[in-house]
Structure 1
Amino acid sequence: MRIVYMGTPDIAVPTLRFLAESKHEVVGVLTQPDRPKGRGHHTIPTPVKAAALEYDIPVYQPLSLRKGEDAAAALETLRQLAPDLIVVLAYGQLLPKEVLELPKYRCINLHASLLPAYRGAAPIQWVILNGETKTGVTAQQMAEGLDTGDMLVKKEIAIGAEETAEELYERLSELCVETLSETLEQLEAGTLQGTPQDDAQSSYASRITKEMSALDFTRPAAELHNLIRGITGFTMLEGKRLKVYGSRVVEGVSGEAGTIAEPEDFVVACGDGNGLRFTEIQPEGKRRMATADFLRGKKLKKGEKLGNAE
């Protein structure tokens, strides 16, 4: 088949490589425009663009597929590419009806959740935040709504009790390849069938904001542990920002919520009578490090209260 691939971040790269090395022909890649990143604000290609260029696949980066001259030009480009199928994975734009209906086999989206749960932009983070024990990838026939199309193939995996969103992200990027491989096999065999989603069972995974990372120690320790696993947490120690990348729940910790209960292990009391032991942190102006390394050069005080995150 002639395939157009649409994707942008790292999670979409393994699937592009799979397609590029398959018997199918990737006739073009659409990805988000390059944007400045880092302290130097240097413009760098998206991960998908960088991978596509390795395979000499033509890359297109329209600002929008839904409005303006850019959208009209992109639609004309897609018509000229004449794909049999469009595969989408974390592209970052909604596709208009004209694009959805253009290929012979329409458009297939790979979504990193077990639909209809966790539709939207940040399913990987939200399954961790909510303490879910399983997730997966769903291949779906794209519709005009947000992740609302018929489900085609589902692959499920368990989430480790201590697994972070970063670790889960890596595993799901490979699971996307398996899911698409099976989907294409069924498509070619003529056995691919869609199952409508039950909207009543749907949930929405909204975008993550910086404010969500603030650690409120009046909450239960397990909730804060999931927050740190999912999006990284931060608090204030001696008036300076402290990022928290790793933690463990410690049961039966006494002390006022937000105070250091066990200074030798950096255990902080939480609102449910349990505590949170920080295992990996980044003090303001310093590198990310194991808490044990931090404590070699810093003596904490029992009962010291961590400040409100700002």
Structure 2
Amino acid sequence: MQGVRISADRYKVLYAGSAGALSTLPFQALCEAGFCPCAVVVDAGSDALAQRQALPVVTEGADTLPALALANELPLLRLSADAHEAAGQISRYAPDIMIVSCFARRLPEAVCAVPRLGCFNLHPSLLPAFRGPSPVFWQFHEGVNPMGVTLHRMSAQLDAGDIVAQTTVTMADGISLQQAGRLLAEAGGRLLVEALSRYGQGKWKGHAQREEQSSYQGFPTQADYAVSTDWPAQRLFNFMRATCGPGIVYPCLVDGRAFRLVEALRFQASGTARFCVQGDQLVLPCCPGFVHARFLTE
């Protein structure tokens, strides 16, 4: 990837995202650091309530990009689903750079080709590992810690463009997906500010991803919540604690018996324990360690 020279006070940034922390917190970090975008881009199919209102209602603590755009007196662009029309919408702002973080859908190549210096995406994993739409879920599923955030150039292949910057984030045991997402979003905001500062000072360099180290995972299905006592206890506990919620069940086969786990209570990372069941709770011997969990009895 060739370095690009630009002037800090002469480039225009568009910011595209959605409603979650992985979109809103990096946007707020940019504004607080003086890199306020020239406009905010959201999907035309999202935030239907706001579309029906003549003026968005902003309340204290509002955490959607439309609300934040209004609070910062920035234009809000609802991007058309039609690629040609969307490219025209973006072109009207004549952006130098477009920053994308958790946009509601994949941007067409016609849109990515508009910004003079390119489109760049914040992705919540250490690429090239865990490409795809649900990287935080899959990092918990695989027991990855630390996790991380990558700023990369967008390319025709999803999450496969040149890496500009990366940072790691260590997760505490028992953290939820929402808490992990917020930590990754905060780290992503810092990473983005640092990268844009380097961009304004001269050359922004990147390096190609190593395809032999890449992995891709899609949206999780019900079958992907199955857990195994072959896992380390820490992995099993943290995966369940991160992803638990109403209606979520974790199938687990122990000594030929099928259990439907619903809550991880505590764990020991090392040592051994005998498998036992008492009421709606059980002890799961793992490799290594053991987990105390609750299961459905009916």
- Structure 1 pair 155–220 and aligned structure 2 pair: CA distance change class (3 A): closer
Counterpart position of 2:152:
140
Residues 1:156 and 1:221: Cα distance change in structure 2 (over 3 Å) = closer
Paired residues, what number?
263
Q: Which residue of 1 aligns with 2:274?
A: 254
> Residues of 2 paired with 1:246 and 1:112: CA distance?
27
Change in CA separation of 1:244 and 1:103 when aligned onto 2, cut-off 3 Å: same
Give 3-state SS (helix, strand or coil) of 1:119's partner.
Answer: coil
Describe the shift of the 1:7–1:245 C-alpha distance in structure 2 as closer, same or farther (beyond 3 A). Answer: farther
- 2:128·2:213 contact (CA, 8 Å) conserved in 1? yes
Q: 1:275 to 1:23 in 2, by over 3 A?
A: closer
TM-aligned CA distance change 1:187 to 1:220, over 3 Å = closer
Superposition deviation, residue 228 in structure 1 = 0.4
The amino acid across from 1:194 in the alignment is: G
* 1:193/1:235 CA distance change after superposition, 3 Å: closer
Q: Residue 30 in 1 paired to residue 41 in 2?
A: yes
From 4, 16, 22, the equivalent of 1:6 is 16
Report the Cα distance in structure 2 between the residues aligned to 1:139 and 1:219, rounded to whole angstroms. 31
The amino acid that maps onto 2:196 is L
Q: Is 1:121 aligned to 2:133, yes or no?
A: yes
Residue 170 in 1 paired to residue 185 in 2?
Answer: no
Query: CA separation in 1, counterparts of 2:25 and 2:210?
Result: 30
- Report if the CA contact (8 A) 2:261-2:296 is conserved: no
Change in 2 beyond 3 A, CA 1:307/1:204: farther
Aligned CA-pair RMSD: 3.2
For residues 21 and 177 of structure 1, what CA distance do their matches in structure 2 show? 10
Unaligned runs of 5+ in 1: 38-43, 65-69, 282-304
Checking the alignment, whether the CA contact within 8 Å between 1:132 and 1:159 is kept in structure 2 is no
Q: Alignment partner for residue 16 of structure 1, among 4, 27, 31?
A: 27
Q: If the length of structure 1 is used for normalisation, what is the TM-score?
A: 0.72
Cα distance change of structure 1 residues 2 and 242 upon mapping to structure 2, 3 Å threshold: same
Query: Does 1:48 pair with 2:65?
Result: yes
| CA apart distance, 1:35 | 5.4
Alpha-carbon distance in structure 2 between the residues aligned to 1:274 and 1:220: 6
Q: What is the one-letter code of the residue matched to 2:40?
A: V
* Post-superposition offset of 1:230: 3.4
Does the aligned pair in 1 maintain the 2:13–2:38 contact within 8 Å?
A: yes
Residue 223 of structure 1, CA deviation = 4.7
**Structure 1 residue aligned with 2:167:** 155
Q: The residue matched to 2:220 in structure 1 has which SS?
A: coil
The 8 Å contact of residues 274 and 283 in structure 2, kept in 1 or not, is answered as no
55-64 or 242-251: which moved more?
A: 242-251
Give the alignment of 1:63-78 within 5 angstroms.
64=81, 70-78=82-90
Matched residue type, 2:219: R
- How much has 1:269 moved relative to structure 2? 3.5
Q: 1:224 to 1:63 in 2, by over 3 A?
A: farther
Q: Secondary structure at the match of 1:61?
A: strand
Q: Segments of 4+ in structure 1 off by > 4 A?
A: 214-223, 270-275, 305-308
- TM-fit CA distance, 1:3: 1.3
One-letter amino acid matched to 1:2: K
Unaligned 5+ residue runs, structure 2?
1-10, 50-56, 252-259
Give the 3 Å change call, closer, same or farther, for CA 168–193 of structure 1 in structure 2. Answer: same
* Greater relative CO, 1 or 2 (CA 8 Å, sep 6+): 2
Q: Is the 8 A contact 1:228 1:244 kept in 2?
A: yes
C-alpha distance in 2 between matches for 1:211 and 1:35: 30
1:170 match: secondary structure: helix
